[in-house]
Structure 1
Amino acid sequence: MTGSPASFVSQGVPRPSGAWPAPSGGVNPSLVPDFGVVAGTDPDGTGNCLKGINNNINIPCSCPPPRNEFIDSLNANVAAGEAVNNPSVKLSFPSGNSNADQQARINALLVTLQNIHSPGVGCPAVSTVYGQLQQQINALPN
């Protein structure tokens, strides 16, 4: 979803798994929400930027990564069924609209974000809206 964070949570009419095929075997980019934060916003001169989603948390100015780099990393992780930079962390990216499918997708997004460069070396969840989306999804009735 490239719209508001709520659009990831309430995507309208449920669709069967695989209803939107991913281009060339990868994840469907429309299921990857925008980060909600622009890298390099309000640098403090020490490598930190002062925004994050809470507007008062330092995040690395390089976070979040460029969207195309993130989607490439996500595709590699999904194809492997694990974080390629942290293989002990398994993940999936189902295309369905159930709570479980949405939880699996947001988990895959967060794992990819936080391990994009190497194990545990990536961007914090607060450098995107993904943590907020996870809370919204977890609050949905089953």
Structure 2
Amino acid sequence: MNFIVFFALLISVSAYPYHGQADETLVPEFGVITGTDPDVLQRGSCSGFNGQLVPIPCTCPPDRKQFINALNDALQAGNVEGEPIAFSNDAGDQSRVTNKQRATACVIVLQSFNGEKGNGCPVASAPNFKTQQDTGIRNDKVIVE
């Protein structure tokens, strides 16, 4: 009987949103290459995408490894500047709800990447995050390169 209870508990814990290290294979690619088209749309800016080309800081999106580290730090803290954050590491769960939750975590970290809420990179620097947040469907294509 104890084995059954333990097994049931183990299953329920593995389905719970994870507050620790994100499985980076579940983090979509940004969709924009950092530093694309400097000064083309606006002096001092590069190209991002939000349905059309828009100016973004040329430092955005951040280096993927640095972004994953920031995401992991936020997950360990359970929040970003007081905003709760969670990320499911269950690769078998590709439901729209779970994918939206993962993308929302990525957007929150991206927009606060410089360590201050709202002082990071705009979501136009990671259109794949925004698409997944809106639709729940993962996309890894490069839109701006």
Q: TM-score, normalised by structure 1?
A: 0.72
Choose from 103, 121, 134 the match for 1:123. Answer: 121
What RMSD over aligned residues (CA atoms) do the two structures have, in Å?
A: 2.4
Query: In percent, how many aligned pairs have the same letter?
Result: 34
4+ residue stretches of structure 1 with deviation over 3 A? Answer: 16-19
Count of equivalent residues: 116
Q: TM-score, normalised by structure 2?
A: 0.71
Verify the 8 A CA contact 2:100 2:132 in the aligned structure 1.
no
Structure 1, unmatched stretches of 5+, are 1-15
- The structure whose RCO (Cα within 8 Å, separation 6+) is larger is 2
Verify the 8 A CA contact 1:59 1:124 in the aligned structure 2.
yes
Which residue pairs with 2:5 in the alignment?
A: none
Q: Within 5 A, what are the aligned runs for 1:1-142?
A: 18=14, 26-44=21-39, 46-52=43-49, 54-83=51-80, 86=81, 88-96=82-90, 97=93, 98-117=95-114, 118-128=116-126, 129-137=128-136
Partner amino acid, structure 1, of 2:131:
Q
Structure 2, unmatched stretches of 5+, are 1-11, 138-145
1:80-113 deviations in whole A, cap 9, x for unaligned? Answer: 1101xx2x21110012323332222111000000
Distance 2:117 2:48 in 1: 24
Verify the 8 A CA contact 1:17 1:95 in the aligned structure 2.
no
